Amino acid sequence: MILLDGKQTAKAVREKIKICAQEAMAKWGDPITLAVILVGEDPASQVYVGNKIKGCAQVGFESRKVVLPETASQEEVAASIRALNADPSVHGVLLQLPLPKHLDEQALLALIDPDKDVDGLHIVQRGRLFCGLPSLLPCTPFGIMKLLETYGIDPAGKRAVVIGRSNLVGKPLAMMLLNANATVTVCHSRTLDLPSVTKEADILVAAVGKPNFVTADMVKEGAIVIDVGINRVDGKLVGDVDYDEVAPKCSYITPVPGGVGPMTVTMLLANTLKAYENVHAIAAQ
Ligand code: NAP
């Protein structure tokens, strides 16, 4: 069994991003800048935003944090997004989710300039992914694809089963695996006899949000298992896969923590670099 080490991979990818960023900035002359909008004081969101800002500094990007109060209105958040869209010194705009309940998340995401949508959540970027066109990809599934690539795992021809159909993880990942020529099945809470489906998987992805949900009897011998889950149990981070039970059956498996998690912010940085290059390439036409 080989561990898919997200921590090591993320480090290596960040080093590459840093070098490419220096080249790009030398070519175009202005700093690469990511703007993050945080609405409210959700402690987890504050940590995530902090990690994104720290990640920017690590690879030589500038960052801007726009903090709005918990009570901010739809129009106030919209105005912040519009201002960042219009600001040529900002190349990536990210709206930290979840938003306070009174705000319409989809309507606000739709306001982000698709060319600056470094979270890959705008409907235009999703449509491009669906059509198999180049796009800014949602960071968590993009990170999973990068991990597979790094370890020389080609999804082509493999049976991939994704448990979970969220817009954030399950659905875009299924599309990325399909674009990489896997035969893909997406499972969800209404799937009947789930183990009979998951046991077919050469690549099994768990994005469910339930601790230790995937047990050994659900996994084929030699499968590649990707655990997206982040669950807190008795103060410890636990994945969606019962690691101790499942790992001995796998050819490859991601640990939690240290698997998919570290890849997510790294792919946000990759998207920000891409957005910067796209913006300049379009302006130069
Ligand atoms: P989500 O929006 O809650 O979606 C969960 C999915 O699991 C849904 O599609 C749901 O089906 C399905 N599901 C629930 N119970 C099931 C069951 N008994 N059998 C089969 N499917 C079932 O969650 P998410 O945003 O995709 O996140 C999933 C997990 O990944 C969470 O633990 C989250 O914290 C973690 N996560 C990690 C990262 C990272 O960077 N590592 C990033 C994002 C999320 P229905 O659609 O039918 O309800």
DSSP state of 214: B
Structure tokens at 207: 């994005």
Q: How far apart are CA 281 and CA 285, in angstroms?
A: 7
Structure tokens at 51: 């990690």
One-letter amino acid at 8 equals: Q
Residues of the chain with CATH 3.40.50.10860: 29-113
Contact at 8 Å (CB) between 256 and 230?
Answer: yes
Task: Pick the atom of ligand 1 nearest to 264's CA.
Answer: 40
The residue whose CB lies within 8 Å of the most ligand 1 atoms, and thus the one to mutate among 51, 146, 169, is: 169
Nearest CA to ligand 1 atom 16: 189
The CA radius of gyration of the chain, in Å to the nearest whole number, is 19
CA distances from 224 to 16, 116, 139 (A): 26, 33, 20
Task: Pick the atom of ligand 1 nearest to 143's CA.
Answer: 40
Task: Pick the atom of ligand 1 nearest to 165's CA.
Answer: 9
185 membership: H or E segment, kind and range: strand 183-187
What are the average pLDDT values for consecutive 10-residue runs of the chain, which has 285 residues? 98 98 97 98 95 97 98 98 97 97 97 97 97 97 98 98 98 98 98 98 98 98 98 95 98 98 97 96 85
Nearest CA to ligand 1 atom 13: 189
Nearest to 268 by CA among 104, 12, 49: 49
Nearest to 117 by CA among 102, 98, 135: 135
Using CB distances shorter than 6 Å, the residues near ligand 1 are 140, 163-166, 168-170, 187-191, 194, 207-209, 228-231, 260-261, 264
Nearest CA to ligand 1 atom 40: 261
CATH of domain 29-113: 3.40.50.10860
Fold annotation for 139-261 = Rossmann fold (3.40.50)
**Residue 144, helix vs strand vs coil:** helix
**Residue 248, helix vs strand vs coil:** helix
Residues of the chain with CATH 3.40.50.720: 139-261
